[in-house]
Structure 1
């Protein structure tokens, strides 16, 4: 029996241990999901909604325990994991509303009948979850998929299996009368490969752009499988002017360093004018970064950020940082470890990369790259100089500049005078380029969880012969 373990990155303590699902176990789970699908899809949507509401109640009853599980597995502070669980709970109501609005039945009177629009579930959906928001992000796929009438086989990240197991417990309670509608399987790459290669009708994935590109390739000859990809980004933040430099610096720090830089919507590139404001802002960002409280999830005073997900992740980020320095980047703040802490802890880092070539890659860590430009045309050009397109932002009081960013920028989430990481669950979330495949999640998840069926129908066949009157031989 092969076992999987997860660890608290702050201490190395084992958080969870369980059996890995091998290829045969994955196939069996998919077969169970396939057999459970017809009855689940045939239920009135109100009954599936009621199950989702029971799941919501189960989350609410366990919210503190689940927040602690997420904190232990990811290293995130409790203030952030409580917010994550609250988002999971809120997702249920948003998904119910979105299902009715975007995938509900419609009908209108037509001559000799009715035009009717219905939506049907795809079938068996595979959901692969990430480690950074191990509850909220897969939850955003799972809830709408089940409400739409699909069955789900969910593989959490191998870094955060305990969070997936906690979600599975809540669904087991909510779906007590509907076995195998939701299943959670645990494992790493081999388990995920078996799931993706199996008989599925959809893959709902949140993770790296590299993995997303891999899925695009392997599903090129499987057009029957719906593919929804929520990927990373090399996100730009243009900070052009502000009456309050400290407030602008706060937007930058929250954009670049929240969740220890482990959000796909974090700002990776700060673009500033090459003038006094730009210089003052960079200084203010560096000073504010120095004051960030870093610590373990259960410490007092409560930290703002914790460690990266693992020692290996920290080493990889440091190697990428060193590469930028070798290319000529000027170090404003180094990416250091934290004395007396595990190897997963790092300090927020700031580099000036003006005038040097920087690979268009996402560094999934608190690393902010500064580019100084002569004018706003150059700022727009620099912001768009990426193959990604997830999030972007502008710090400016100038409405005309904001309009330019809205028209000329290329990203799925574009914020003004607010962190690039801010997003409303009542709106779509996703990007273009290598940040996604034009199937945004959040409120628009209902769109990829069901397909439309358009019908022209009448209760009997009367009225059709008139169309042939006078046009047939006697």
Structure 2
């Protein structure tokens, strides 16, 4: 029996045009990361389902977009209430399929519902609210906003409900229809979202879910009937999406990708706070957040005090499964391959640096791994830079704040950064000089607020921020000029009145 039967009401399925379509086979098989012998979900994707989902979303778009904002708002409030009602199911799915510890899975389930409340706040809605201006004698200028149409949402596995939901809610509210492809590592979570949408009662075709791997994602990202692609994932995949759309500049592409996020600790920092926050931000979600701290730059004068503090805190983290009954901080990585990638990266970095804390596989079933850390001579930008998506962090030392900022910026990414210092002038310099979309002061890089914009520079994104600014990517402005005054014939036009008699 599949583990997902504990929280799903349908066998493995796609959800197309308001109907669940069963999936046979096992081309996609997800396993419990804490107990890999337990199969959570399995099914073989059907390419025709993706085609049918796009067609259904296209058919549903005229009627859905014709509803008033307040009419669509009612559906989104039902979505919020349904997610609250089934938060325990959603948390169970996230824990079982992704391996998140209990408190973190419950937090993700909670913020799925909260996304609706945030999106409906006046300050968010104001970003896509029309206005009128006087535009000359007898003329009125009008700005209004229109939905793009059919939006493909390509979701990640690390926040399999929250991150796609962050695109889905504003897209639906502004009048778009959705084809959502979950990560193949989070298939049952995606199906559960379809089951919740079905309970809400969205009109057929408004909310569709199709399972699949890269082939179906590629088809959705280039489908002629898809008007926008809202993607969360790695830079290599985001790059392929951009390349595939070079000849379709009218298709909106919003990319939310990874990071090589720095934290700078100066001699003016509260070292206790800095150590605790850097550990939390480095290893939260077992390092599987795009905002996790990947690089820590410590001012030379306090490095020999700070680094041992960090290592002591990191060494005492509780690692366990969601149902172990202990207050765990970290669970397993999502797959065995994910763990192998971290261990290979550690070996490569340790060969040219100094291993401070060895990440190692735990002696138990599941893809558990302990946190790791290495010290390198200096951070330099390289063309082949990759994100280590797991509980592993690198240290380097800096002469002063200017050197620290230079090393912080020595990356192709630009998602998040943090400064730990009690000096306001240092903060101003860091804020001014650091290139990142999320820049924090005395708190770690991980833990963004949905009430703020969320996005990055360079290989972290393409200036289409999510969070509170996600509404910007799901509607486009239309400028209208209305002339209700007397017709004025322009200079140089000779108009014979007899032409109009």
Give me the TM-score of the superposition, normalised by structure 2: 0.90
How many equivalent residue pairs?
A: 468
Preserved CA contact (<8 Å) 2:222 2:245: no
In the aligned structure 2, how far is the partner of 1:219 from the partner of 1:380? 35
In the aligned structure 1, how far is the partner of 2:402 from the partner of 2:270? 24
Q: Does 1:63 align with 2:63?
A: no
Q: Match for residue 40 of structure 1?
A: 64
Q: Does 1:257 align with 2:311?
A: no
Which of 139, 151, 156 aligns to 1:125? It is: 151
In the aligned structure 2, how far is the partner of 1:27 from the partner of 1:74? 28
Which of 12, 15, 33 aligns to 2:36? It is: 12
Preserved CA contact (<8 Å) 1:242 1:248: no
Q: Match for residue 52 of structure 2?
A: 28
Inter-CA distance 470–348: structure 2 relative to 1 (3 Å threshold): closer
Give me the TM-score of the superposition, normalised by structure 1: 0.95
Deviation at 1:429, TM superposition (A): 0.1
How do 1:18-167 residues align onto structure 2 when only pairs under 5 Å count? 18-97=42-121, 100-110=125-135, 111-167=137-193
How do 1:253-332 residues align onto structure 2 when only pairs under 5 Å count? 253-275=279-301, 277-326=302-351, 328-332=352-356
In the aligned structure 1, how far is the partner of 2:369 from the partner of 2:43? 32
In the aligned structure 1, how far is the partner of 2:458 from the partner of 2:165? 24
Preserved CA contact (<8 Å) 1:7 1:14: yes
Q: Does 1:420 align with 2:445?
A: yes
In the aligned structure 1, how far is the partner of 2:334 from the partner of 2:482? 55
Inter-CA distance 280–341: structure 2 relative to 1 (3 Å threshold): farther
**SS of structure 1 residue aligned to 2:322:** coil
In the aligned structure 1, how far is the partner of 2:104 from the partner of 2:144? 39
**SS of structure 1 residue aligned to 2:190:** helix
Deviation at 1:467, TM superposition (A): 5.6
Preserved CA contact (<8 Å) 1:99 1:144: no
In the aligned structure 2, how far is the partner of 1:267 from the partner of 1:341? 27
Preserved CA contact (<8 Å) 1:232 1:362: yes
In the aligned structure 2, how far is the partner of 1:69 from the partner of 1:13? 17
Could you report, residue by residue, the CA deviation over 1:16-61 in whole angstroms, capped at 9, with x for unpaired residues? 3354332222111111111111111111011111100000010000
Preserved CA contact (<8 Å) 1:329 1:356: no
In the aligned structure 2, how far is the partner of 1:116 from the partner of 1:108? 6
In the aligned structure 1, how far is the partner of 2:414 from the partner of 2:480? 37
How do 1:151-230 residues align onto structure 2 when only pairs under 5 Å count? 151-176=177-202, 178-198=203-223, 199-230=225-256
Preserved CA contact (<8 Å) 2:139 2:485: no
